[in-house]
Amino acid sequence: MRVANFKNKLNKLLTIEDKKRLVVLLLLSLVLSVIETIGITAIMPFISIASNPDLIHNNHYYSYIYKFFAISNEKNFIILFGSCLIGFYIFRGFYIMLYGYLVGKFAMKKYHDFVVSLFINYIYMPYVVFVNKNTASMSKMIMTEAAHVSFLVQTVLQLLSELIVVILLYIVLLFVNIKMTLILTLFIGIKVYFLMKIVSNKIKQEGHKRAILQDQFYRTISESLGNFKIIKFISNQISIINDFSSISNKFKDVYISNTILQLIPRNVLETTGFVILISVVIYIVTVYGNALSIIPIISMYALAMYRILPATSRIMNSYNNAIFYFSSLDIVYKDIVTKYEKEPDDGNNILFLKDIIVENITFKYNKLNIINNVNLKIKKGQKIAFIGESGSGKSTLVDLICGIYKPNSGKILIDGVELNNSNIVSWRKQIGYIPQSIYLFDGTIADNVSFGRPYDKEKIIKVLKQANIYDILIEKDGLDTMVGEGGIQLSGGQKQRIGIARALYGDPEILVLDEATSALDTATEQAIMDEIYKVSEDKTLIIIAHRLSTIEKCDVIIDVSKLNG
């Protein structure tokens, strides 16, 4: 992981306010490091005076404090010193919890910011870009990868905090005994170097595997559950299960491997450090006979090692976690910085009183001409049908007229006004779209009809009556009838009627049916088409259809394959 690359990407993902908070957290981290260092180094003098009270009078600083506070005897001095240490450690505990809370709060705020930024970016994404995306991958990005980046930020803050603690304690140990400190540094440094070279590189590889496998994991779940009914008809369901199990197993292995690799630095470093420390004590006892005279120093090193070794281990773990999840930063960074311009809704309303004129429009998709120099005119109130073979461009042409796609050349005029970025939002609001597959989320009928728009109970009842489904709902729970995920509790005809009600809820001037009844049986289709013709008497109706029975009441029938110039 290149530090410059990480810093550059993270810098672009953080706001000015975030950077200010980060500076505050870094300062608090520095204070925490100082507190941790004091907490370790204060033990040595306490042990020294507790084992040898004469030091209180022999040491200039102890003697000054003793006289300044007029302490009556050495015992009271030791009790006062110990009480101060207890108070200090209680304060240290509260400070560590406060710091942890602030770091966690910052990390979760960034998670919120990342997921909202990703969601906004996806919502503003042009439709032509969206159709090339995988929705499972986008869901994974919001739910998982953004969380990993948040964890990455938290990890880096912890790494910096631990690094400062190690540096400060190392400086203290240099003052205590430079020779012994340098020997420890040499042995531990060699271990750290090889751990970084071997373990960290392996963790980096596992991190790349994780990103790929997690994407496959989400896609398999989405594709399988999205085709649940079809799967019931597939004889080799076991093959689908085996494929998913294989991906899940590989995904599991990556995390197991990462867990094991993360444990190696801590165990190696702690074992090495304490083996060296114990060896030093054995050496001193062997050479000098006893270690009584250097108990404070040994205690200092023992306490320092007790803090430095886990801190060094956490630094390595933080670094390795950063490597493991760095691919998440790459992925999230790419999708956040790729800004899709919000289509302006600047109040440029476009009126539809006369006609829609399509003038020499051409549209390319993946370098292939789908629509080529098409011209046509649709009068207000007209019932017009587009027919043609699959792939002839029926849906694409209607999407261009609706403003979902934008032509590569040519123009679309609404009452003589060209459709463009300044009025396209106003234009879409005048269109009620009824697709072949009606998406119903797991909620009430009322919520599915209003679909994020202002809730108007009377209006919902009105459009449900227009769609000829209100009487059926009254027999159930009325507007509070639950539809189930994907509308599974409704019949195909009922779902289409809810789709019609949803389209009518926006008071559209134009109703668009994109093969909306092709999946229904003939009788149900006929009943629904009669309802659509009835509710669209004063509206313009655009139909894409294969069955002639669907369009028999249309004023104009256009074969799209004959329109292309």
Q: 376: alpha, beta or left, given left = phi > 0 and alpha = psi -120 to 50?
A: beta
Pairing of strands 409-414, 417-418: antiparallel
Q: What is the pLDDT of residue 420?
A: 84
Helix, strand, coil distribution of the chain in percent, nearest 5: 65, 10, 25
* Residue among 231, 257, 258 nearest 244 (CA): 231
Residue 83 or residue 366, greater confidence: 83
Interval 153-183: pLDDT, tens: 777 777 777 777 777 777 777 776 677 677 7
Considering the chain, tell me which residue range(s) the CATH 3.40.50.300 domain(s) occupy: 355-562
Give the single-character DSSP code of 461. H
Residue 306 or residue 85, greater confidence: 85
- In this predicted structure, which of 95-104, 205-214, 372-381, 460-469 has the lowest mean pLDDT? 205-214
**Cβ atoms of residues 541 and 381 within 8 Å:** no
Q: What is the pLDDT of residue 11?
A: 75
- Crossing angle of the two packed helices 295-324 and 326-337, in degrees rounded to 10: 50
Question: DSSP for 409-454?
Answer: EEEEEETTEEP-TTTHHHHHTTEEEEESS----SSBHHHHHHTTSP
Q: If DSSP codes are grouped into helix, strand and coil, which group holds residue 374?
A: strand
Amino acid at the residue 14: L
Local confidence band at 299 (pLDDT 50, 70, 90 cut-offs)? low
Q: What is the pLDDT of residue 233?
A: 46
Considering the chain, tell me which residue range(s) the CATH 1.20.1560.10 domain(s) occupy: 3-337
Q: 391: alpha, beta or left, given left = phi > 0 and alpha = psi -120 to 50?
A: left
Question: DSSP for 289-348?
Answer: S--GGGHHHHHHHHHHHHHHHHHHHHHHHHHHHHHHTHHHHHHHHHHHHSPPPPPP--S-
Residue 293 or residue 250, greater confidence: 250
**Cβ atoms of residues 429 and 347 within 8 Å:** no
Q: If DSSP codes are grouped into helix, strand and coil, which group holds residue 255?
A: helix
Interval 418-437: pLDDT, tens: 888 888 888 888 888 888 77
Residue 150 or residue 304, greater confidence: 150
Pairing of strands 368-379, 417-418: unpaired
| CATH class of the domain at 355-562 | alpha beta
Mean pLDDT of 436-455: 82
Amino acid at the residue 244: F
Cα 374 to Cα 370, 400, 411, 514, distances in angstroms: 10, 11, 10, 19
Query: What is the side-by-side order of every strand in the sheet holding 355-365?
Result: 368-379, 355-365, 409-414, 417-418
- Indicate the average pLDDT of the chain: 77
Mean pLDDT of 51-59: 78
Look at residue 304 and tell me whether its pLDDT is greater than 70: no
What does the radius of gyration of the chain's CA atoms come to, in whole angstroms?
36
Taking every pair of Cα atoms in the chain, the longest distance, rounded to a whole number of angstroms, is 111
Q: What is the pLDDT of residue 267?
A: 66
Q: What is the pLDDT of residue 346?
A: 59
| CA pair distance 235, 237, nearest whole angstrom | 6
Q: What percent of the chain has pLDDT above 90?
A: 0
| CA pair distance 88, 165, nearest whole angstrom | 17
In 525-562, which positions are buried (b, 16+ CB within 10 angstroms) versus exposed (e)?
Answer: bebbbebbeebbeebbbbbbbeeeebbeebeeebebee
Locus of tokens 């509206």: 539
| CA pair distance 524, 503, nearest whole angstrom | 19
- Residue 39 CB neighbour total at 10 angstroms: 18
Q: Which CATH architecture has domain 3-337?
A: Up-down Bundle (1.20)
